[in-house]
Amino acid sequence: MTDHNRPFSDEERAGLYRAIYERRDVRSQFLPDPIPRPVLARLLKAAHHAPSVGFMQPWDFILIDSPEVRQQVLASFKEENAKAAQNYSGERQTIYRSLKLQGILESPLNMCITSDRKRGGTHVLGRNSIVEMDLFSTCLAVQNLWLAARAEGIGVGWVSIVDQTQLAAILNLPDDVYPLAYLCLGYVSEFLDQPELQAKGWRSRLPLEGLVHSNGWGVALDDQALLEQLKQ
């Protein structure tokens, strides 16, 4: 039996599930310590081993340690965040304004993971019907990096409140390259017990048993054994 076919040990499975359950979107707990180059290389390799439709591998990774570039991204965040706050009123807006939604300057490293929408040529295997598969594939690279980072004790925060056109201009991206994920990375003082938005009362995790359907939308699952397991 080759190593790739070796079953995962109980400890290895536990480590994978721990990374999944303890992954957090980090904004407030970054430490100034730099990420060692061997660790950063492992994170990038993990991201690069994500699955991609047609093996197109549409991702690129822009490492950002320039204070000037970060200040420009932060300016875009502040502008977009002010707009987003207007979507709420009363107590909801007060809570929104109290949330820390980025760690652009506090984290020791920023990274933009992009998606090259032309990579692989005009006809990419598996992308004929769903042209967004390049974007979906790049999201898998983000998730790979995020889980590997958690296993390394490194926090990751996704800054989604930013104008993508401005971000593309700041980073000098070619026309066909989309800035899919702007991330803040670094060691942290702690990983919170629960997602910060849940802890602050913004939203709670939905019960999984209500999200699983049987053979079609809205048909309740009648597998009682599975339902009981989902509730645990």
Nearest CA to 96 out of 117, 80, 75 is that of 80
State the pLDDT at residue 151: 98
**Does 94 reside within a domain?**
yes
**Does 116 reside within a domain?**
yes
Averaged pLDDT, 154-179: 98
Top pLDDT among 3 and 89 is at: 89
pLDDT at position 1 over 50: no
**Does 212 reside within a domain?**
no
**Does 10 reside within a domain?**
no
| Domain range for 156 | 23-203
- The overall average pLDDT reported for the chain is 96
Q: What total number of domains does the chain contain?
A: 1
pLDDT at position 149 over 60: yes
**Does 120 reside within a domain?**
yes
State the pLDDT at residue 138: 98
pLDDT at position 3 over 90: no
State the pLDDT at residue 4: 83
Q: For 114-140, what is each residue's pLDDT tens digit?
A: 999 999 999 999 999 999 999 999 999
**Does 85 reside within a domain?**
yes
CATH code assigned at 135: 3.40.109.10
Q: For 36-84, what is each residue's pLDDT tens digit?
A: 999 999 999 999 999 999 999 999 999 999 999 999 999 999 999 999 9
State the pLDDT at residue 2: 61
